[in-house]
Chains A and B, each alone.
Chain A
Amino acid sequence: MTMTGSVHQLSRSKRLPAKVRGLILVRDQGLLMLWIAIVILFAYLAAPYFFTVATGIAMLNSASIASIYAAGLAVGVMTGVFDLSVPGTAALAGVVTALLLRAGVPVWAAILAGLLIGVLVGIVNALIVIKGFDPLIVTIAMLSVLSGTSLILAGGNNVSGLQGLTFMGTQTYLWIPAPVYIALALFLVLTVFLKTTRAGMRLLAVGGNAEAARRVGIPVSRYRVLGFSISALCAALGGIVTSAYVTTASPGASVSIVFDGMTAVALAGIPFIGGRGSLPRVALGAIVVATISTGLLLTGVQTYWSSIATGVLLVGGLALNMWTSRTATNLLLTGDTGKRAVE
C-alpha cells in the first residue's frame, strides 16, 4: 500500500545540533566536573591531610549512609512523591530492630521487621495522599507521629549494645566499611529497577506526567503507593545501617537527614517536578556534600561555612540545570538551531 503524502524528514532529525549537544553535556557531566574541581581545591587547601586514603574512606562512609536516604528521597521525587517522613521512618525502623535484637530475636528477623515497618509507613503515607491530601503535610504529620512512636517504644532513651549489627556497621571488607557496600548494592538494584523494568518505567511516567500515564491506562495510585514504599524502605534501611554503625539506635528523628538527602538529589539535577533523574548522580551528589564538609573540616574553617557552601552550591546547581534544559528546549522547539531545515 502506498501512502498519500511524501515521507517527511526534517534535516535536523538524525543528529542534534552541536549547541544542544554541548548544553546536554554540561547538564549531564557538570556535577562530576564540579566534584573533581572541589577535590583538587581541597587537596591544595587542606594538604597534606585531605588527599589521603584514610580521608577518602571516611568520606565515602559518611557519603554512603547519607546516600541511602538520598536514594529513597530521589526515587520519591522522580515518582512525584515528596516524603518528609524519612527521618521518622529511619528512627522507628532503627528502634524496632534494636529492641527486637535485645529481646533475643535473630538478627535477620530483626532487620526484616525494621524494613517491613518502613514499607508499612510508605503504604500508609500513600493511601492518605491518594485521598487528595497534600503530601508535604501528610508526611510532616507522619514524621511527627513516627518520632513520637519511636520515643515511646524506646522509653525516651537510646537503645545501645547493637553488637549483633557490626557486620553491617563498622566492619570493613577489603578496607572498605560495610555501609559503602550496602549503598552500592541499593543503588545498583534501584537503578536496574528504574531503567529496565516495566514497573520502573511506569513509576517514572507517573512522576513525569501523571495525566499521561492515566490516559494510557496505568493505575496511577498503585504506582504512588510503590513510590512511597520505596522511599520509606530506603529510610528504614538507612535507619538500621546508622544504628549499626554507631551500635546505638537513637529514637530522635534527625531532620538533617532530609536536608542532606534533598541537597544530594538537587545537586544531581533531579527536578522536583518529577519524572526523571539518574541515581548514580544522586550518589555523586551525596559524595560532593560529604567532600565539602570533610574538606572544610580539614581546612580548619568553622563548620558553619560548610552549610553555607552547601546551600550556595545547591542553588547554583539548580540554576545551571534549569538554564541548560530551558535553552536546549527553546532551541529545539523554535527550530532556531542556526541551520535552516531543508526539504
Chain B
Amino acid sequence: MRNERAFELESITVHYGHARALEDVDLHVAEGEVVALLGDNGAGKSTLLKVMSGAHRPTAGRIHAHGAEVDFRSPKDAAAAGVQMVYQDLALVDAMDIAANLSLGREHVVKGPLGRLGVLDRRRMRKESQAELDALGVRTAPMTRPVELLSGGQRQVVAIARAAARLGERGVLLLDEPTAALGHEQTELVEDLIRALAVKGTAIVIVTHNLPLAMAVSDRVVVLNRGRKVGDIATSLADQDRVVSWITGAAVQGD
C-alpha cells in the first residue's frame, strides 16, 4: 500500500544567527511521489534539503519518516532512516570506474583467505553495479569506464544510482539541481531515471531552477520564497505562469 506520508517535515524553522533561512515550513512526500522544490536564489531550498538529509539540525520543527518521529544529528542518521542525498557536486571519484564508484564503501572481497586480506572481488562489483543500473532502466557505459570519461548526464546517472542502491525499500531520495549542467538529451536521461525510481516506490524531492523539468517530472510542486512556503500544488493543476509568480514573490498561493 502506498504510504502518503513517507517523509514529513512539520513547522521547520532554521535561523543562522539573525538570518532567517526557513520559517515554519511544512513539506511531505509520499512513496512513489516526486516533489519539485522551487524558489529563487536564497529562498531556502538548500537549507531545507540539508535539514532533510541530516546535514543541518533545524532551529525548530519535527521530522517524521514513515510515521515515526526522527532526529537526524548527521547524514549517517538520515541514511539509516533510508534518506539519501545527491549533492550538486555529485561527489564521484573521477579516476575510478563506474563499478568502483557504485561499490565504494560497501566493496565485495573474494571468498577465502585472500578475502580476509581484503582482496577485492572486482567481477562481482562490476556485475552488481551493472544489475543496479539495469534495474533502473538506464544504460550508461561499460562498468569499467572511469567516471572522468563520462558525459555530464552519465555522471549524474551514476551519482543517482549510487544513492538509489543505498536507499533500501521505501527510501527517500533528495536531489540538488540534478540537471543544472546538462543539455537537452542528457536531461531526458536523468528525467527518465527519476521517473523509474518513483515507479519503484521511492519518495523523491528535487531542488531545481529548471521549471520545464519540474513540470515534466514532478507530481507536485512546492515553492519557497524568502524562507516561507508560498505554494504547494499538484503539478497537473499548476499553471506555469502562476508558479513563476510565486517564485518571484509577485503572488502567493490563494491570491
Contacts and interface: CB of A to CB of B under 8 A. Distances in A.
Interface of A: 3-10, 12-14, 16, 20, 196-199, 201-202, 204-205, 208-209, 211-213, 215-218, 275-276, 325, 328-329, 332-333, 335, 341, 343
A335 B183 contact: yes
Contacts of B106: 216
Nearest to A12: B151
B149 A328 contact: yes
Contacts of B199: 3-4
B168 interface: no
Interface residues of B, number: 48
A315 to B, nearest CB: 23
Nearest to B101: A212
Contacts of B96: 201, 204-205, 208
B192 A4 contact: yes
A209 B94 contact: yes
B94 A196 contact: no
A198 B120 contact: yes
A211 to B, nearest CB: 6
Contacts of A335: 151, 183
Interface stretch (B4-12, B41-49, B134-142): B134-142
B91 A198 contact: no
22 contacts: A3-B196, A5-B191, A7-B139, A8-B138, A8-B188, A9-B139, A10-B185, A10-B189, A13-B139, A20-B149, A197-B118, A197-B119, A201-B104, A202-B104, A205-B96, A208-B94, A209-B94, A211-B89, A216-B105, A217-B79, A333-B152, A335-B151
Given A197-B120, A275-B95, A341-B185, A7 B76 contact: no
A12 B117 CA distance: 38
Contacts of A201: 96, 100, 104, 107, 120
B93 A213 contact: yes
A8 B139 contact: yes
Interface of B: 75-76, 79, 87, 89, 91-96, 100, 104-107, 109, 117-120, 122, 136-142, 145, 148-154, 162, 183, 185, 188-189, 191-193, 195-196, 199
Chain B CB within 10 Å, residue with most, of A9, A16, A205: A205
Contacts of A332: 149-151
B95 A4 contact: no
A150 B154 CA distance: 54
B94 A275 contact: yes
A343 to B, nearest CB: 8
Given A4-B199, A5-B137, A199-B118, A276 B95 contact: yes
Contacts of B153: 10
A7 B120 contact: no
A275 B195 contact: no
B93 A4 contact: no
Nearest to A333: B152
A5 B183 contact: no
Contact of B196 (A5, A9, A217, A276): A5
A10 B192 CA distance: 14
A10 B120 contact: no
B175 to A, nearest CB: 15
Closest 8 CB pairs of A and B: A216-B105, A5-B192, A276-B95, A3-B137, A212-B91, A208-B93, A198-B118, A197-B118
Contacts of B149: 16, 20, 328-329, 332
Given A20-B149, A333-B151, A8 B120 contact: no
Contacts of A275: 93-95
Given A197-B119, A198-B118, A335-B183, A211 B91 contact: yes
Contacts of A276: 95
B195 A212 contact: no
A4 B196 contact: yes
A343 B188 CA distance: 12
Given A3-B199, A208-B96, A212-B93, A329 B118 contact: no
